[in-house]
Amino acid sequence: MRDFFRGMHYLWMGFGLIFKPGLKRFVVMPVCVNILLFVGLFFLFRHVVHEFNLWFNHFLPVWLFWLGAFIWGLFFFSFFLLFVYTFVMLGNILAAPFNSLLAEKVAYYLTGERPKPSSVFENIKAVPRVIGRQLSILGYYLSRALLILMLFWVPVVQVAAPFLWFLFNAWYMTLTYMDYPAENRQVSLTELRLWLSQRRAMSLGFGVGVIVISIIPVVNCLLVPVAVAAAVSCWLDASSGGR
Other residues' Cβ atoms within 10 Å of the Cβ of residue 119 = 8
The total domain count for the chain is 1
Yes or no: say if 13 and 232 are a contact pair by the CB < 8 Å rule. Answer: no
Residue 38: pLDDT band (50, 70, 90) is: confident
Distance CA 137, CA 99 (A): 15
Q: Mind listing the pLDDT tens digit for each residue in 92-118?
A: 787 888 888 899 999 999 988 776 655
Residue 132: pLDDT band (50, 70, 90) is: confident
Distance CA 19, CA 118 (A): 25
User: What's the mean pLDDT in 35-51?
Assistant: 77
pLDDT at res. 64:
63
**This prediction's pTM:** 0.81
Instruction: Report the Cα–Cα distance between both ends of the chain, in Å, rounded.
Output: 14
Yes or no: say if 221 and 189 are a contact pair by the CB < 8 Å rule. Answer: no
Distance CA 32, CA 236 (A): 27
The string over 150-187, giving b where at least 16 C-beta atoms fall within 10 Å of a residue's C-beta and e elsewhere, is eeeeeeeeeeebeeeeeebbbbbbbbbbbbbbbbbeeb
Residues 6+ apart with CB under 8 A from 166: 211
Domain that holds residue 68: 2-241
Distance CA 212, CA 14 (A): 14
User: What's the mean pLDDT in 42-71?
Assistant: 70
